[in-house]
Structures are given as C-alpha cells and as structure tokens.
Structure 1
C-alpha cells in the first residue's frame, strides 16, 4: 500500500456528502469516523434500530442476544473505542465446554478462553446504539428506511441518488451524495451494485465472498431463576457443539447485567441452516428444540420459544482485506465479511473504509 501524504489535498479536505447504507457496527464505525472528520453523513438502516447482528430480542422473560453472542478485543483502536462506552462493556465468564456428539457428552469440563469474552449490557445491541446516538441526535440516522436502488443523480452530474422505501411503502429519493458506502452483507451489496450498473469492478471483487445463514432458537424457562433456584440442565453456560443441528448454545442468564430467568440461545450449524433455510419456522423450532434437549438434557417445556432466521450470519470465505473501494465511482463496501465474522472485524472494516475516504 502506498504511504499517503500527511497533508490533505484540497479535494480530500473538502467536506463530502456521504451515504452509508447499513447501521451495523461496520456502518456506524465508518459513519462516526467520517462525521468526526467533518463530512456530511447520512446513515440508512432498514431495521428499527442500529446494531445489525449485534442484536437483542426482547421478551417478557428477558432479552436474547440472538445474533452475536460475545466479542473479543485484539485491535488497539477497537480497545480505545470501547473505552468510550463507559459502563456498557463487561467480561463474560462463559465456562465454555465442547460437546462431542449428539448425546451431549462433553470432551472437556471447561475450555479456558484464549482471550477474554466481552458482552454489552443490558444487551448486545446497546453498544452500537450508543455509538449511533450522536448521529441520530444530529438527524443523520434514517431508520426503517431500506435503500432499494443506487443511481446517478438526475440533476447533478457526478453525484448519486438513492431510492428508498420506508414504513407504509413510503418511497423517496435522496440525492446529492458524492460517495456511497455499502455496510451491508456482501450479497446485499452486490444486489445494490447490480442495480446501479456503475461499479462493476467492485461487484466482481465481492463475488467470491460467501456467508452462511443461521437459524437461532430462543427459549425461556421462568420456573428456574438465578440465584434463588438452581438452574436447569448442565453446569456449563456455553458450548460449542458438533451435533448435526447445533453449533452453539449459551445460557443468556449467565451473562452480566441480564435478567435472572433461565434463558437459552441456540444457534444451528451453518450446514443445517443452509439445508433448512426456507423451512417453516414452526418446523425449524421443533427440530432445534429436540436437538437442544439431546445436548443439554433439559426436558422441561419452555414457556417461551421463538426462532429467528439470519440469512447472512457467518463468513465462510472473506474478502481478504479490510474493505473494497472503487475510486472511479466513489462507491465502497465494508463489513465483518471483509475479514471474517468477528465483531472486531466489522469495526476495523468500517474504520478502514472511513480512513480510505478521509
């Protein structure tokens, strides 16, 4: 990589109007950095809140981190950013074990973590939502607004406009952007690039990225509460499983700052999720509940059960670099899928994308 001059050119110093599509950790890290550099940024997010897969599903029995379960800290810049989230980030002593087979037999009583596991409190979505708050306060975060098309601005040459749909099929056109950043899953980024017909090199670059889906099961057993009653089932709080249906299980109530009601989040394996991607949700729930019983030995009927399908969950083949950028079109792409599937990968990707523009 060519070393850049420390003296910005007049073009790079001039504030740009930038659209960031996606308010997951990559999109928010990118947008915050750009805004702090003086650029005019608007973030478009189709969901009701920021966070992406750093998501928390609320229920009457407490929350479920039904996307990202925890994160690690390796990059000094990520560590510095986390220091600004006072009181939100706490260590989780997961007491993780490894399940050998479908009968739930444990290979090791506990797997000492190679590095600390961290969670946001009271749910995983709290971290990104706090970082997104200054953007929201400045009117720079458009929620429940899905970008359906990127196209050249019809009134201003060299600029971009975005077609969006909001609540109640409210269609709008947002214009005047000279840069567009796609902070969404790689397949969604490719679909938007295809609609623009302006960034074919970037689209080709993303074509080798593969991301697997994930079905997630959420269970609550209010008959067992910590610490007043012993919890149900095994004495471990998280497990990596080789069961043909399940890859990961976690006792949500073991995480700091959570409700004491016994709750479990169960994530299906990428292979099983792929095979059953279009199955009926109730059928998926029944199959995963049966597997949960086999692995944990918990045979009590859950008072609450629900499933969520993530079409884009765990990266199988990453891009191999921090971000993608097409200088000619001024369209870029970032996300955890550029480097892997960790929360930190998403943060670093968004940060490096912003630094490319700055």
Structure 2
C-alpha cells in the first residue's frame, strides 16, 4: 500500500526518513522552516569563508550509516577525514583544557561545509521539499487523514497554507518543538503518549561564536595562535574551539568557531548578541592567547543543541494515529544518532504499511 507522508524537518533524521520512504515507493513531502536542508549540520557563510557553527564533525559506528556513506552516489566525494593535533594546555590565567585526543575512531567533516552532506542526500527529493514553510499545527479528520497547517515565508510575506491528505505525519525536529506542535494541534493529538515520554528528554542550548582573522593569512604570518586545531575546554564559558581553516576545503583564511558550555549558554540564554559576543571573545583570547581584533565576529544561538538526557529509544511511532517522531534526541546528540532514528522510524512505517 502506498502511503502519503508528511515529514516535518529537513535535518539528518528527516532527510534519512524521507529518502528511505521514497525508495520504498511512498509519496513524501518534507516541510522545513529554514531555506535549505541541514538542521544543526549547518554552515554559515561570510566574506572571509564559512563556519560550521552547528555540528563540528561526525563519526561512524553503525554499519548502516557506513553503508550509506559509501554507497549513496557522490557522498564519498563530499566527506573527508579531519583530525586535530593533540596537546594539553594550561593557559596563563590557569584555565586547564585538553585538545581533542587522537582516536582510533575516524572523525569526518563534509566539504565544503557540514551542510553539504544533508543537502546532497536531499537533492533527489526535488519538489517534495517545501522550504521556508513552518508547520503551525496538525489536524486529523474523521477518516484518519492529516492536514498540515503551515506558514509559508518564501515570498517575504507570511502566507497560511493547508496541505491535506496525509496518511502519516512524522516529526523530525527537536523534542521541545515537537511537543509544542503536538500541543498546538488539539486534543486528538495531545492524547498521544508521545508527550508524556518526551517530558524526560533534556536538551541544552549553545551560543556559538564565529571569528575570522584575514591578516593572519599573510605570507609573513602564516599561522595565528596555538598549534592545535580543536580543543575541548573546561573554561566556564567555553566547551569547544575549532580552527575552521584546518578542515578540508575550507579556505586558508584563519577562522575559529567557539561553542559555549551548556551551563553558561543556559545562564545567558536571553542575553543580547553583542554582550554574548564580547564575553565569548574574551574567553577565546584567554584560552588561545590570540589578542588580535577579528575582522569578522558574530554569534548564533542554538536553543536546542545538545541532548543531555535522551529518550532512550530510536523513534516513536503509533500506527493507529499515523504519528511518529525521530531525531538525534531519541538516542543522543551525534549525527549518526539522527541517521539511525530517521532510518528506523521509516522502516517501522514501511512495515506497518505492509500489514494494511
């Protein structure tokens, strides 16, 4: 039986589910509030080069994820290994932090930016992708079919739309947003046990700082700051630093991405961007010894960045209502967690269709 399926969210989980269901012969529409696929595997462009201001890299442990990376046409041309020099550093102010240790586990990045992998996998979906289309609520009729009510912002104006006739609706979005969408959709939806299960999921925010130092790329100054390319920090403000220009196919201009700690990000969640930028820039200087004024600096807030307490199962699905949820927060916070969640939800939907 061919199903008509709406998927809300075009990150790794949503695109994986969409591809799997499309390959199984089902008709899929993907709704995404942003202008392109990627989710937290995002890349921010600037006049000085790009920044992976969300996910920094990914690892591969699941055989199915490995197979997809090896067999989806063009993927091996996009994904490149990336390693960081390993050192232990004590900065002058006494903040101890340790650069990313070498590991037998390979670390990969997508090129020219982390968003390239999800966007490449989304390409075959073509007209099934509805970008700049934020879903507001869901509605189920007496026959059990779903209508998706969305806000289309593509034209620069807010246009309310209704997309009807779906047999299944899969939420591939952060747990907080998925819960809110279910609550906005009326009693027929909020009765689902999904909401109770999601109450225990904890996801932390993250402020991210992006810096560019083009003067460091001059012949007489080939390298700026420390001799390592990535570090996990114990500084109360900063959890992670990475030299973007050390990644494959990223350009030579010296660029850094600095990600704040979960605790500090939560404490400063509602701060204005200039204040956050100043505080993180100060911490960056303390940790790296780089005192030069950046030619480019900006911050971005990820409200739902890193899973602290996952759901504990790879997906949720209720065949009776046709609702399902997927995303990395079901299992953890890794790219592969999102892939596995989207894949296993799609396979569960396919199995339920065969039983109809």
TM-score between both structures, scaled by the size of structure 1: 0.92
* Structure 2 unaligned regions, length at least 5: 351-356
Distance 1:96 1:28, change over 3 A: farther
Aligned to 2:206, the other structure's residue is in SS state strand
User: Which stretch of the first structure deviates more once superposed, 296-305 or 201-210?
Assistant: 201-210
**Cα deviation, residue 228, structure 1:** 7.3
1:149 to 112, 115, 137: 137
1:114 deviates by 4.1
Structure-to-structure mapping, 1:250-269, within 5 angstroms: 250-269=242-261
Aligned in 2, Cα 1:350/1:99: closer, same or farther, shift over 3 Å?
Answer: farther
CA offsets 1:81-102 (integer angstroms, 9 cap, x no match): 1112131000002224455678
- Unaligned ranges ≥5, structure 1: 1-13
Pairwise CA distance, 1:336: 0.4
Q: Distance in 1 between matches of 2:206 and 2:106?
A: 24
In the TM superposition, residue 328 of structure 1 has moved relative to its aligned partner by: 2.1
CA separation of 1:286 and 1:102: change in aligned 2, threshold 3 A: farther
CA shift for structure 1 position 112: 1.6
Structure 1's consecutive aligned runs of 4 or more residues displaced over 4 angstroms after TM superposition are 96-102, 104-110
The answer to whether structure 1 residue 93 and structure 2 residue 80 are counterparts is no
TM-score with structure 2 length normalisation?
Answer: 0.92
Q: Which residue of 1 is the match for residue 56 of structure 2? A: 69
- Cα distance in 1 between the residues matched to 2:161 and 2:99: 56
Give the alignment partner of residue 293 of structure 2, picking from 297, 301, 308: 301
**Matched positions, count:** 341
Q: Quick check: 1:116 aligned with 2:129?
A: no
d(CA) in 1 for partners of 2:92 and 2:266? 19
Match of 1:285 among 277, 291, 299: 277
Match for residue 238 of structure 2? 246
SS of residue in 2 equivalent to 1:285: helix
Look up the match of 1:15: 2
Q: Does 1:180 align with 2:169?
A: yes
Q: In structure 2, what is the equivalent of residue 30 of structure 1?
A: 17
Shift of 1:157: 1.7
Q: Name which of 214, 220, 231 aligns with 1:222.
A: 214
**1:255 Cα deviation from its structure 2 partner:** 0.3
CA deviations over 1:53-90 (Å, ceiling 9, x no partner): 00000001000000000000000110111112131000
Rate the CA distance shift 1:272–1:170 in 2: closer, same or farther, 3 A. same
